Amino acid sequence: MSLKIVVLAKQVPDTRNVGKDAMTPEGTVNRAALPAIFNPEDLNALEQALRLKESHPGTTVHLLTMGPPRATEIIREGLYRGADGGVLLTDRAFAGADTLATSYALSQAIKKMGMPDIVLCGRQAIDGDTAQVGPQVAQKLDLNQVTYVTNVDSVADGKITLTRSIDGGIERVEAPLPILLTVNGNAAPCRPRNAKLVMKFKRATAPMERPADGNIPYAEEYEKKPWLTVSQWSVADVDGDLQQCGLSGSPTKVKAVQNIVFKAKESKHLTGSDNDVESLVKELLDSHTIG
Amino acid sequence: MNNVFVYCEIDKFTVEEVSFELLTKGRKLANELGVQLEAIAAGSGITGKVEKDILSYGVDKLHVFDGEGLYPYTSKPHTSILVNLFKKEQPQICLMGATVIGRDLGPRVSSSLTSGLTADCTALEIGDYDDRKSGKHYEGLLYQIRPAFGGNIVATIVNPDNRPQMATVRSGVMKAEKVAEYYNGEIVYHEVAEFVPDTDYVVKVLERHVEKASNNLKGAPIIVAGGYGVGSKEGFDLLRKLAEELHGEVGASRAAVDAGFCDHSLQIGQTGVTVRPKVYIACGISGAIQHVAGMKESGIVISINTDPEAPINQIADYVITGSVEEVVPKFIKSYKANSK
C-alpha cells in the first residue's frame, strides 16, 4: 500500500558544540555563535520515512517545519535526500511559542496538508530536550502515538509494527494507522544527500527568502520549475486561531533566566606532576575517601 | 479539589522508585500550599499490591485503576484516565517521572487539558509571580526549574493561568522519604470503563525485553566520569581501569556520549542519570550545567582538565591541571603503590 507521510523537522542551534562565545557578557544566549542545524533526531525520523517510500511504491514524504524563512534550509536538506516536498510554516504570530502552541500550529498545518497515514518526528529537539511536541501533535490530531521508536519493522493491512526503546530494554508493538511516531537517536542514521537531487533542488526557496524588491535571480527558472518554490504558509493559511499561537497560546511563561554561575568552592589546585598526583592519592587514602 | 497529584509508574506490581521520589516532593509541596496529596496508580492486577507502599509516602487519597489492558503501558488508556480524572478533580499540580512513560503520557495529557508542562525539572518550588504584561499578581505558583539551551542557562518556568501545572522530573533527582509505614490515606477503586473508552486499546505490545541496568551508576560510591576531553573510546578504557582499581563505576558527559566514546547508558546529567557518589572524578569534563545538574551533590569532586578555566573546576575540591592520558595512569600507579 502506498502511504502519505509527513515528517516534522526543526532547525535548531547546535547546542552540542557550545564554545566560550556562546554567551554574551550580559548573560544572554549569543545565537550568532551557534550554527543552525537539522535537529539530529528529526534526521533519524526522515530516514525511516524514506525507507518506507522505498519499500512502499507510491508513498509520498513531505517535510513540515516551523521557523523563520532561513529554516527553509531544513526543507532543502530533506529534498536533497529524497523527500517529495515540504512546507515552511512561518509567521511572526508563531514567535515565542512553547510546546503546546507549537503543536497547535503544526497540527493545523498537517490538517491543511491532508491527513497523512504516518507522521514522523524526532523524539526531541536538542535546544529544548522536552520530547513534548510529538505527543501533543498526536493528541491534537487524535492520532495514535508510539514514542522512542528505533525501527519501523513493517507496514501492512493498515497496521504498523515497530520496535521502540523503553527504560532498560526494548518493546515491539503493533498499532493501526494513522499514527504519529517519534524516533530515537539510536535508530538508523539518515542517508547522505544525493548529488543529483542537490543539483535539482539547490535553488529551491521559499518566497520569503527571495529579494522583496522583485529583482529575483533565476526568476525564469522558478516560473518553469514549480518544484523550486517551497510552500510557505502563514497563520491565516492554516486557519490558525491567534489566541492559540505563539506567546498568547503558551501556558508556560519564563519567570526568570539565570546565567550559570557556579558557587565557587575552595579548591586545591594541583599540577599533573608525579609528586602532586602522589600526594593527592595519599591524602585521599589517609582520609579513607578512597581505598 | 485543587490538590497535588502524582502519577505513579508501576512495572507489573512494583511501584517505580521515581514515583516515591515524586510523592516525597509532592507531600512537601502540598504541605506548603495547605492542600492534600493524591496519587494515581493504574495497571493490571495491582489491587492489594501497591496501595500500602504508595500511601506510606503521605498520600491522602489514592486513585486505583485496575483493569485488563492497562499493563504494559500504552499511551491512550492512561491518557484517558488522567484527563477524565483531572476534569473532575481539578488538580493544581501534577508530577510524573521524566521516564519513557512519563514523557509519552505527560505531553498528551497536557495537550488534552491545554495546560503547561515543563520537562526534566531539576528543582520544584512554590513562589509568587508578577506578570509584567498583564500586571497580574499570582500567589503560590509552582516554580519549575530546569537547565535550558544546552545547559547554558537555568530557566524558571511558571504556568500562571492553566491548571494543572505539570512537571516531569528524572529519577534520582529528588530523594524518597517515607512519612509513615502505615499512613492513613483514603483509597478509591475506580471503574476503569467509566474513564477509558474501548477504542483506546489500540496499540498492542507484542514483545518486551527489559534487562537490569548494565551499570550501577546510581548507587556507586566512586565514579570516574569522562567528557569530550577524554578524546576517544580508548581513552575511556583508561577510565575503566581507574574505576576498576577504585571499585567504582564509569560515567560520561553528554559530549562524550554524542562523540561516540561510550554508551548512552553511562550519561550523567539532566538528560541522563543523576548520581550522588562519595567521590566524583571528572576527567576532561568542562562542566556544562546539564552535566553538573546530575552530579552536583557528589561528596568530593576531583577535576582533571587541561583547561584551568573549565567551569567544573569551580565546584571541584581538587583541580588537577593536566591531560587525562597523562594524569590518570599516574593516579592508578600511585594508588596501587600506596593502597596496601
Yes or no: say if B155 and A260 are a contact pair by the CB < 8 Å rule. Answer: no
A139 interface with B at CB cutoff 8 Å: yes
* Contact call for B209 and A144, based on CB within 8 A: no
What is the model's pLDDT at position B218?
81
Pairwise CA distance, residues B264 & B256, whole Å: 9
What the block records as the C-alpha cell of B116 is 503547561
Yes or no: say if A222 and A246 are a contact pair by the CB < 8 Å rule. Answer: no
Q: Rounded mean pLDDT of chain B?
A: 93
Q: For residue B264, what is the nearest residue in chain A, using CA coordinates?
A: A186
Q: Rounded mean pLDDT of chain A?
A: 91
Task: Please state whether A41 falls in left (phi above 0), alpha (psi between -120 and 50) or beta.
Answer: alpha
Yes or no: say if A184 and A172 are a contact pair by the CB < 8 Å rule. Answer: no
Pairwise CA distance, residues A251 & B131, whole Å: 13
B139 interface with A at CB cutoff 8 Å: no
Residue B82 pLDDT > 80: yes
Q: Which residues 6+ apart lie within 8 Å of A254 measured at CB?
A: B155, B156, B157
With bands split at pLDDT 50, 70 and 90, how would you rate the model's confidence at A19?
A: low
With bands split at pLDDT 50, 70 and 90, how would you rate the model's confidence at B173?
A: confident
Provide, rounded to the nearest whole percent, the portion of chain B with pLDDT above 90: 79
The predicted-structure confidence for A170-181, as pLDDT tens digits, reads as follows 999 999 999 999
* Contact call for A174 and B204, based on CB within 8 A: yes
Q: Cell 531539576 sits at which residue?
A: B122
Residue A17 pLDDT > 60: yes
Residue B73 pLDDT > 70: yes
With bands split at pLDDT 50, 70 and 90, how would you rate the model's confidence at A290?
A: confident
What the block records as the C-alpha cell of A175 is 498499532
What is the model's pLDDT at position B217?
87
Question: Which of A7-16, B145-154, B245-254, B316-325 is predicted with the least confidence, judged by mean pLDDT?
Answer: B145-154
Pairwise CA distance, residues A129 & A285, whole Å: 40
- Partner residue facing B100 (CB), from A132, A148, A263: A148
Distances (CA, A) of A70 to A74, A206, A208, A222: 9, 9, 9, 18
Q: Which residues 6+ apart lie within 8 Å of A61 measured at CB?
A: A5, A6, A7, A46, A49, A50, A52, A53, A78, A82, A83, A84
Distances (CA, A) of A154 to A114, A151, A188, B23, B201: 23, 9, 15, 40, 20
What is the model's pLDDT at position B213?
64
* Contact call for A285 and B300, based on CB within 8 A: no
B14 interface with A at CB cutoff 8 Å: no
Beta carbon pairs, A and B, within 8 Å: 255
One-letter amino acid of B31: N
How crowded is residue A217: how many other Cβ atoms within 10 Å of its Cβ?
A: 10
Pairwise CA distance, residues A144 & A118, whole Å: 10
Question: Which of A131-145, A257-271, B196-210 is predicted with the least confidence, judged by mean pLDDT?
Answer: A257-271
Radius of gyration of chain B (CA): 22
Q: How far is A87 from chain B (nearest CA, A)?
A: 23
Query: What phi and psi values does residue B251 have, to the nearest 5 degrees?
Result: -125, 180
Q: Cell 556520549 sits at which residue?
A: B257
Contacts of A291 in chain B (CB under 8 A): 246, 335, 339
* Contact call for B117 and A289, based on CB within 8 A: no
Determine the distance from the C-alpha atom of residue B26 to the mean position of all C-alpha atoms in its chain, rounded to a whole number. Answer: 14
The predicted-structure confidence for B93-150, as pLDDT tens digits, reads as follows 999 999 999 999 999 999 999 999 999 998 999 999 998 888 999 999 999 999 877 6
The predicted-structure confidence for B279-319, as pLDDT tens digits, reads as follows 999 999 999 888 998 998 888 999 999 999 999 998 999 99
Q: Which residues 6+ apart lie within 8 Å of B88 measured at CB?
A: none
Type and span of the H or E element at B332: helix B324-338
Residue A129: half-sphere exposure toward Cβ, Cα within 13 Å:
22
* Contact call for B150 and A251, based on CB within 8 A: no
A196 interface with B at CB cutoff 8 Å: no
With bands split at pLDDT 50, 70 and 90, how would you rate the model's confidence at A46?
A: very high
Pairwise CA distance, residues B281 & A66, whole Å: 42
For an interface test with B, the pick among A267, A274, A283, A286 (most B C-beta atoms closer than 10 Å) comes out as A267
Query: What phi and psi values does residue A28 have, to the nearest 5 degrees?
Result: -100, 165
The predicted-structure confidence for A237-264, as pLDDT tens digits, reads as follows 999 999 999 999 999 998 988 765 555 5
The predicted-structure confidence for A54-82, as pLDDT tens digits, reads as follows 999 999 999 999 999 999 999 999 999 99
What is the model's pLDDT at position B168?
97
Contacts of A176 in chain B (CB under 8 A): 202
Distances (CA, A) of B3 to B124, B194, B204: 16, 22, 34
Pairwise CA distance, residues B37 & B26, whole Å: 7
SS3 call for B95 = strand
Which residue from A78, A71, A10, A21 is spatially nearest to A48, judged by alpha carbons? A78
B162 interface with A at CB cutoff 8 Å: yes
With bands split at pLDDT 50, 70 and 90, how would you rate the model's confidence at A167?
A: confident
With bands split at pLDDT 50, 70 and 90, how would you rate the model's confidence at A24?
A: low
The predicted-structure confidence for B29-60, as pLDDT tens digits, reads as follows 999 999 999 999 999 999 999 999 999 999 99
- Partner residue facing A285 (CB), from B112, B304, B338: B338
B315 interface with A at CB cutoff 8 Å: yes
What is the model's pLDDT at position B328?
95
Report the number of secondary-structure helices (H) and strands (E) in chain B.
8, 18
DSSP letter string, B24-87: HHHHHHHHHHT--EEEEEEESS-TTTSHHHHHTTT-SEEEEEE-TTSSS--HHHHHHHHHHHHH
The predicted-structure confidence for A194-247, as pLDDT tens digits, reads as follows 999 999 999 999 999 999 888 888 889 999 999 999 999 999 999 999 999 999
How crowded is residue A39: how many other Cβ atoms within 10 Å of its Cβ?
A: 24
What is the model's pLDDT at position A285?
87
Yes or no: say if B128 and B145 are a contact pair by the CB < 8 Å rule. Answer: no
Pairwise CA distance, residues A60 & A16, whole Å: 32
Pairwise CA distance, residues A94 & A238, whole Å: 12
- Partner residue facing B159 (CB), from A139, A144, A251: A251
What is the model's pLDDT at position A14?
84
With bands split at pLDDT 50, 70 and 90, how would you rate the model's confidence at B340?
A: low
Instruction: Give the angle subtended at the CA of B185 by the CAs of B179 and B190, to the nearest 5°.
Output: 135
What is the model's pLDDT at position A262?
53
Q: How far is B185 from chain A (nearest CA, A)?
A: 30
Q: Cell 578555566 sits at which residue?
A: B309
Q: Which residues 6+ apart lie within 8 Å of B193 measured at CB?
A: B67
Pairwise CA distance, residues A10 & A43, whole Å: 10
Q: What is the mean pLDDT of residues A14-34?
A: 65
